[in-house]
Amino acid sequence: MTQPPAGPPPYGQQPPDGPQPGQVPQAGSPQPGYPPQPDHPQPGMRPQPRKRRTGLIIGAVVAVLVVAAAVAAMVVLTLQGKTPLSSDEQQIESTLREFYGTLTDDGFEAASQLACKADRDEFAAMPDADKAEAEKLAFAVDIKSVDDIVVTGDKAKAKITGTFTFAMPGDSDDESDDSSEENLVKEDGEWRVCSSAGTGT
């Protein structure tokens, strides 16, 4: 008995799932009765490794360390009297130590640049011969403590205790002292050593 040729189903009737008689399943189409298979790596292929966040973690750690170092530096400088957050007493002690350290290491002219404007102007007005003689002086100052700091407005007094030694050119005898009374003034927000402040000028 001859089978009628396969044709489209009657109008309004859906064809059954799966290949129809006489049809060959297309390659890659799911087999009837089996769910779609998930993607798996083909034999012989390595799975892609997961991206690691090591770089992000290291960057965060470095950022934290930088901030911590900056905060620590700010605290140290504040305690040393080298920031606006320092008290007047801390800034005055820091100023005196810097001034006399410069005097010892770099000489009279370099130290004068750290002094108040009146002292700088006085040094600038000195004859060149006097400047040359002053530069020959050998200073050695070792500050043990800065005490008795009294601040009055933009002026201050302080007492330095330590060893003060200086030698005149051609003089074999060194002169020394163990304390010094200092005058300071505040100019442009900074404390400066000012010998002129003690003379009423």
- The tens digit of pLDDT for each residue in 61-96 reads 555 555 444 444 444 444 444 555 679 999 999 999
Q: Where are the domains of the chain?
A: 55-86, 88-198
Architecture of the domain defined by 88-198: Roll (3.10)
The DSSP letter of residue 137 is: -
C-alpha span between 116 and 195 (Å, rounded): 8
C-alpha span between 77 and 124 (Å, rounded): 32
pLDDT digits (tens, 9 = 90+) for 121-166: 999 999 999 999 888 888 899 999 999 999 999 999 999 999 989 7
Q: Cα 174 to chain center, whole Å?
A: 43
28-32, 110-114, 171-175: segment of lowest average pLDDT: 28-32
Tokens of 59: 């960057």
